[in-house]
Chain A
Amino acid sequence: MLEVTGLKKSFHGREILSGVDLTVEKGDVLAVLGPSGGGKTTLLRCLNYLERADAGQMTFIGRTMDMPRLSRKEIAAYRRHTAFVFQSFNLFSNKTALQNVTEGLIVPRKIPRAQAEERAMAALEKVGLADRRDAYPSQLSGGQQQRVAIARAVAVRPDVIFLDEPTSALDPELIGGVLEVIRGLAEDGMTMVIVTHEVNFARHVSTRVLFMDQGQVLTAAPTAEFFEEQKLERVQSFLRSLDRKDD
């Protein structure tokens, strides 16, 4: 469904992504793992054109696009099929939880308000926050804000959701609730690309794992294979270093 080849991105002459390839099939939950600074977040941001790739081809639902030269209009059209969940939530701070979810339905998609609110309430229900519909972001905990952000992403019925370290900014006791919501989406068959440091979560929820280091994909494999039959020393040492942290 989504295929990217030869994705490159540099900032100020420093190459952050040096030719990344990836494939996401419908229903995949692709976990992107790897050490900090390896280019995971930049990769995700390029996938939704929050950063402009220097080179790369993208094929999305049968259409091939030249990533560096995609027009503003084409980007907007593409984004109507995707959704993005940020590490720092980025809820609209002047809008209530419900308005945060309906905004993307009413404004760009011209869905009538009543229908949009119905859909938004269903999404808030799904993340367990229907009762906080009128709360502003500043009145919600980090975990609640991230769940509203996920509801906002789900409500537009995207073909794929990109999640950029969705739990990294949360207190430990709030992480579980957010991961639970994402697990629920996976069970519903939602296609997702998740940059994460939660290796256990990746192990149990993702269908495929992509490991990045120094701007390159070291390996991409089905989850079971990635964890059980890992041959790359670099990946094994990374996983071991995380295990130690868990103790």
Chain B
Amino acid sequence: MFRTALRIAWASLARRASRSVLVVVMIGMSLWGLLFMEGIYDGMTEQMISNAIRSDSGQLSLFAAGFREDPGLDRLIRRDGEIAEQLAADPRVGSFVRRLRQDGLAATAHYSRGVMIYGVELAEEKKHGRLDSYLLEGEYGFGGKKRGVLVGARLAEKLKVKIGRKLIVSAQNSAHEVAAVALTVTGIVRTSNMALDEAAVFIDMDKARELFATPQGVSQISVIVRAEKDIPALQDSLRRQFPDLQILRWDELYPALMQGRVMMQGFNLVMSLLIFGVAGLGIFGVMLVSVLERLREFGIMLAIGTSFRQVLGIIFTESFILGFAGFVAGSLSGGGTLLYFYHHGLDLTIFSQGLEEFGMDVITFAVIRGSYFITAFAAVMLATFVSVLFPLRLLKKSNPIEAINRV
């Protein structure tokens, strides 16, 4: 029986080929647009989050109590060796780095600027957040004598420094005296994390210890976990083990990014509802006319003994074929488009200045999630199902004899 229903449904769709094709194209186009938008917008949000995690916060960051409110060398994590051993032994931890930070001033012969001076281990940073991948110019290193400095891209622009230029970095040391060191710019980094790009200089950890007269302790330990689901549990266990430290997740350190992610989810939901609502209206129109113009045909079928359930089956099959064909067309075109942008990225170099203003990457790589297709399938099916309910009600109310006699 199902085969018969399928054949009848197919035949009636083929008979009105242009409108069937229009409905399929409409569903396909809506789905394509929706998938493209979701994938690219999510890509933008996730890239910003990933940049913040990799360049600064990790998924968890450990600070000494009070450091966040009032950063300084008198608020350091003193037991960093013990914590490092603990983290290295924890199977949930993918990588971690230790950083020493102090606010100071960076000056060339002509310009000076307030900066955040980060003492880092470059090899560790490379393994941890691939800091090397953010290198814009120069080399990823501090040179043989460790007298090099990596400068944030916007800071470099403001200080007008280029690779090989001298930079005097000064800061208050742990004895509350101003100390300075002359360094050579070895590299310029663009992390797309605005705070770092505008104000960070990265120097060798040992050089930082010397400059700040701080032989021990670190300001921050940034941790990246192997699986995202472990973040809350790891945060809890670290909090229990080190109750005197402030242990914060990335979304606690960058609440605006989390807010952005939640807003994007809400936006995607509203867009899906709007688009499938309108598309549903299109399917509804076609199915309504399709049922109304075949009332006579259905009347005859009912009169010669076809059950109402079978007629129902034919109509549902018809709308299902339309919806499914649209879904396949949209998924293939949308998925293909996303796959292209997943590999090649959407290059918006012409707007680079504007994107950097918002701390966004110039090239956005699309995100592809199975959930996009599952949600879209459910939405298309729901839209097709709901749109035949009213035509079916009309059919049920009509009398087969009357229908047969209609001209």
Whether both chains belong to one complex is answered with no
Write the residues of chain B forming the contact surface with A, with a CB cutoff of 8 angstroms: none
